[in-house]
Each structure stands twice: as structure tokens, then as C-alpha cells.
Amino acid sequence: MADNVNTNSRGAGDVILDVRNLKTHFGDDDKAVRAVDDISFKLQRGKTLCIVGESGSGKSVTARSILQIVDYPGKIYGGEILYWGDQQVKSGQPLDLAQLHPRSKQIRSIRGHEIAMIFQEPMTSLSPIHTIGSQISEAILLHQNVDKEEARARSIELLRRVEIPNPAVAIDKYTFEYSGGMRQRAMIAMALACNPKILIADEPTTALDVTTQAEILALIKELQQAYGMSVLFITHDMGVVAEIADEIGVMKNGKMLEFGPAEQIFYTAQHDYTKELIDSVRKLETSARKARKSTITDKKLLEVRNVSKIYPSRKSFLGKASDPFKALDNVSLDLYEGENLGIVGESGSGKTTMGNCLIRVLEPTSGEILFKKSNGNISDLAKAGKSELRQVHREIRMVFQDPFASLNPRMTIGQIVGEPLLVSGLASGKELRERVGKLLETVGIPSAAMERYPHAFSGGQRQRIGIARSLALNPRLIIADEATSALDVTLRSQVLDLMLDLQEKLGLSYILISHDIGVIRYFCDRVAVMYKGQIVETGEAGLICSTPEHPYTKALISAVPGTHPRDKRIVNRHRYVADAAPGKAVA
């Protein structure tokens, strides 16, 4: 308490936001969910504070509490949020935001004016039916005494500031006409509209590709310096934290476990959970394959030759024909038995189309996919008939990205895992139960859990269940499409380790499709880098990740956030120019 009085009498100093014992609960009674449970932190003027934590840790609710925009029934239950804006510094009295009514005029004059916020989903966070310009100038008109013309001119200037090409035209476009990265830029422009003192960024880059993420992070950093803003950055990604944080707060289950300067947290973390978080990211910086005995053989399992997938041009209602779209453009790959091949690329690069063509969910337009079956015969999957495919599908299985959507909520996990066996008529009744039990145990889930439904399991466990299902028919090749992207970092390496264990035990080969360089580096022997439907580079994972040849790969690798606060990689990143001219493939 003494300290409390002290800071007050001393005035603001360098602290612009002083959060003390903040409690935000959902619900009133004993059963209330304590989303934010007694946390304190300070945001320094002009600095960046990162609040890091896994999903459900309460970091977003903390951010929203500051602006009092927590969704009902969430409510600030106790504590203080002391804001030291220019006025408050002058008067020597801080403004306690926690005391303001969520609908009061005072808090509204803070929102968007003194403290602005940007959000995770740039698609849904902007209104789909208002133009970008009207949404930006709305913020200007609300807080500043200017007319519409002036607001529009300022909006154009803001769009230019966040590097939106041709801002005078772009201002009248709608959200859906912007790409993900551009939407986030527009969002930032909107937040900057009134020169806020504090920018709260709630996972602003999570939904973006890694190169776009790097661009946005660099932009925020640059604007922060230009405008002298303080930034409160909410994220789950330790890599991003290492890039931008001056100070770090680590949250778990609504508590602030640790709070301190970035280097202190990264190098001398006190709390086990913080160490675990940092380790799980660092772990992905090396290759797991080096530590294990190699399972690679020189027998080719899969040979992809000149596969293309072209969506023909479509005529629109007015007879305007679109260009045919090459989702896959003459792609060739090899996979050896026991090998882990990574396919890396950004969204829209064709990597998922690739996976879908391999198991013929999509029909490739041309090319050959030669798969060596267990009986030694070679089958061309691109042309295989139905019965042939059915056979092959026992040997090639898929694991999907979203562990929540890919398991039927109305089936027990026993039924889910056993379904492939039942459908192919390989087992039923008691034998089926036994085999399902064994499969579940292989992936580390007790067989007694067989009768439970997917909702009873966490994300990581669900992904294990998905893997168990893919193992049911003793496959030889597993295609994992972003299998770990939906998982928290600490779970990510666990699932990858499980997959590697299974490989040693069962002699599997993997094709791992991912946008995450860390995951690829950890898991794969070789990598194919995809860009706009083409494979621009193939090579050993270690080499690609350290000394890439192709300029696109260079840009991609250099955009990956590091894990050491001292080497700000993103500031020195390599920018790939072809991005500026979309549609033009790399020569």
C-alpha cells in the first residue's frame, strides 16, 4: 500500500498504464469464471509490453478490460486501471478506467481516442458492408472536430501511412476486397486515426502468413516510434514476443505468473511454465531427426511427376471470363520410405491442394503420382480406378488440421477410431474393441476412455485421437495437413514427438504440410517450398532453413520470428518483391 501512495504522489513518471489487482469475472456468484484473477502490471510510456499465454489464459480479457469492452456477463470485479494520459499527467491525478461505467461518456472518449485496439481476425473485425474508408473516418469524426471532407483526406493519408497501395482508390473498397494483410493494415490505420497514446493489439498477426506477419510487426514497430505510442501486445507466440517485447507478462489461468523485462524473462525465467513455453519454441529451432536414429531408406515410396491442378476459367454472368487458375503447376516430388517430407508455403500456395491430389480427394489435371504399394506393385494414383484407390487408401491416411471439426461430436472416440476398420470390414465386435483400445494406447490415451465423446478431450488429445484413427489400417504413409497448427505451442512439440515415436515403431513415412517453419525444421528430413502452385525449392530441411537458395525461401525464412530478444530478425528481414505483383509466378 505504501508503494501505492508513493507512485501516486510522485505522479506518472514513465508509466502510462498502471494495472493493479485487476479482477474480471464472468458471472457474479461462486461459480463465476475468474478469467482475470488479481493481476498487476505496468505499461511504460513508448514501450512495448507483451502479454503471452495459451488459449484461455485470460490475456484477451485483460486487454478488453482496459477499454471496458468485455462481453456480457464479464465484468470488472475489482482492482484499478490507472491511466496517465497527457491531461492526467498535468493534473497529477490518474484516471481509473476500472471505475468508469462501460457506457459512460468518459470511457467512450478514451476508446479509439487515447487508447485504440486492433484485433485478431481482420476479416470479421471489420464490418463487411461498410467501406474501409467509412470505418476509418468514423473514428476520426467521433473524436475530432473535423468535417467529412477532412476526415476522408486524413483516412487516405492513414492508409498511405500503413502502406496500402493506391489509397485514394482503396478507401472506397469493402473489407472483402482486401487481402488478409491489407485488412490488418486498414485495422491499424483505423486504430491510429486519432493518434492514440496506447495501442492494444490482441493477437493481430495470428491469422496471417508468416511473411505478412513480419510486415505487420515491422509496421507496428515503425509507427510506434513515429507516434511515440505505447503498445500492449497480446499473443501466444513466443517468437513474436522475442521480436518486439521490451517487457513481458506471462499469463496462465487468469494469473500473471511472471512479469519483467524481455531479456530477464527469456534468459532467467523464474517460473517453470515460462521455461516450458520458451523451451517448446526453442525446441523447434533444431531438428528432432538428428537426435534419433534415421529411419530413411533409399527405397522410393512415392514419386510425383509433373502434377498440375488447373481450375478452368469460368464465365461470369456478364460473360467476363476469368483466367484459368493453376493451383498446382507442374509439381514433382519424391518420397522415400521412412522419410519425413515437409511441404511448406503460405496460404494459397497450393500445399493443401497438393495433399488432396495425393489421396485423390481432388483430381489432378495432369501428371503421375506413382505409389509403391506394400505388395511391391506400383500404382499411378492419378489414374487409379475406384477399387484400386480403396486399396491404396488403406496405406495412405490423412490427419487434419482442426482437431475440433474433424471428429464427429456424436460418435464416441471408440467409434471414431474404429470406423476405418469397420468400413473396410477388417474387424468387428470384440476384435474391433481390442484393436481400437490398442490404437488409443499407442497414442497415449487410456483405452478405458473409448466410450467418451470428443468434447471430453482437449485439443492435443483430440489430435492424438485423429492420429489413432489414421493408424487404424496400418498405413505406410501419413499425410498430415497442418496437423499441429491449431494446437498451443507446448502441445505442438508433444504431438510431433508422438508422430516420430510412431514412425520408429511402425515404419511410417510422413508428408507434413505446414506453414510453420519451426515445425518443419523440427520434424522433416527434406522440405519442398511451395509458392503460387509451384515448388520453388526442394532440399534438406537443415539446409533450406539455414541457407536457402531461392529468394522467396529467403524471405520466408527471414520472416520467421526468432527466439532471442536480442537479435531482432524481422527488422532485418529479406523482403520478396514478387509479392508486389500478385498473379505473376516466379520465373
In the complex, the residues that contact other proteins under the rule CB under 8 A are 64, 67, 69, 71, 103, 108-113, 116-117, 119-121, 124-131, 138-139, 142-143, 174, 176-177, 187, 190
What would the grid cell of residue 543 be?
A: 539446409
* Whether the Cβ atoms of residue 515 and residue 549 lie closer than 8 Å to each other: no
Q: Where are the alpha helices (DSSP H) in 162-253?
A: 167-170, 180-192, 210-227, 238-244
Beta bridge partners, 371, equal 302, 379
Closer by beta carbon to other proteins, 156 or else 199: 199
Closer by beta carbon to other proteins, 19 or else 132: 132
Instruction: DSSP for 17-86, please give it.
Output: EEEEEEEEEESSSTT-EEEEEEEEEEEETT-EEEEE--TTSSHHHHHHHHHT-PPTTEEEEEEEEEE--H
CA diameter of the chain: 83
What's the burial of 310, exposed, middle or buried (CB within 10 Å: 0-12/13-18/19+)?
Answer: middle
Q: How far is the CB of 584 from other proteins (least distance, A)?
A: 24
Q: How far is the CB of 125 from other proteins (least distance, A)?
A: 4
Interatomic CA distance for residues 18 and 44, integer angstroms:
9
**All residues at 6 or more sequence positions from 61 whose CB lies less than 8 Å from its CB, including other chains:** 24, 35, 36, 70, 74
Q: How far is the CB of 316 from other proteins (least distance, A)?
A: 9
Q: How far is the CB of 303 from other proteins (least distance, A)?
A: 41
Q: How far is the CB of 151 from other proteins (least distance, A)?
A: 13
Closer by beta carbon to other proteins, 91 or else 127: 127
Interatomic CA distance for residues 186 and 183, integer angstroms:
5
Q: Is 368 helix (H, G, I), strand (E, B) or coil?
A: strand
Closer by beta carbon to other proteins, 143 or else 476: 143
The 8-class DSSP code of residue 451 comes to G
**All residues at 6 or more sequence positions from 297 whose CB lies less than 8 Å from its CB, including other chains:** 336, 337, 338, 339
Q: How far is the CB of 456 from other proteins (least distance, A)?
A: 26
Q: How far is the CB of 127 from other proteins (least distance, A)?
A: 5
Closer by beta carbon to other proteins, 68 or else 353: 68
Q: How far is the CB of 202 from other proteins (least distance, A)?
A: 9
Closer by beta carbon to other proteins, 127 or else 408: 127
- For the chain, percent helix, then strand, then coil, each to nearest 5? 40, 25, 35
Closer by beta carbon to other proteins, 5 or else 129: 129
Q: How far is the CB of 565 from other proteins (least distance, A)?
A: 29
Q: How far is the CB of 176 from other proteins (least distance, A)?
A: 6
Q: Do β-strands 340-344 and 325-336 pair in parallel, antiparallel, or remain unpaired?
A: unpaired
Q: Residues in the chain, how many?
A: 587
The set of long-range contacts for 424-427, using a CB threshold of 8 Å and a minimum separation of 24, is 424/390, 424/394, 424/473, 426/473
Instruction: Select from 21, 410, 8, 484 the least CA-distant residue to 254.
Output: 21
Closer by beta carbon to other proteins, 143 or else 462: 143
Q: How far is the CB of 216 from other proteins (least distance, A)?
A: 16
What would the grid cell of residue 485 be?
A: 497448427
The 8-class DSSP code of residue 324 comes to P
Closer by beta carbon to other proteins, 111 or else 289: 111
Closer by beta carbon to other proteins, 16 or else 354: 16
Closer by beta carbon to other proteins, 3 or else 71: 71
The 8-class DSSP code of residue 111 comes to B
Interatomic CA distance for residues 99 and 178, integer angstroms:
39
Q: How far is the CB of 197 from other proteins (least distance, A)?
A: 14
Q: Do β-strands 33-44 and 15-26 pair in parallel, antiparallel, or remain unpaired?
A: antiparallel
Up-side HSE of residue 16: CA atoms within 13 Å toward CB?
A: 23
What would the grid cell of residue 372 be?
A: 509403391
* Whether the Cβ atoms of residue 428 and residue 419 lie closer than 8 Å to each other: no
Beta bridge partners, 70, equal none
User: Residue written as cell 477532412?
Assistant: 150
Closer by beta carbon to other proteins, 144 or else 365: 144
Closer by beta carbon to other proteins, 134 or else 493: 134
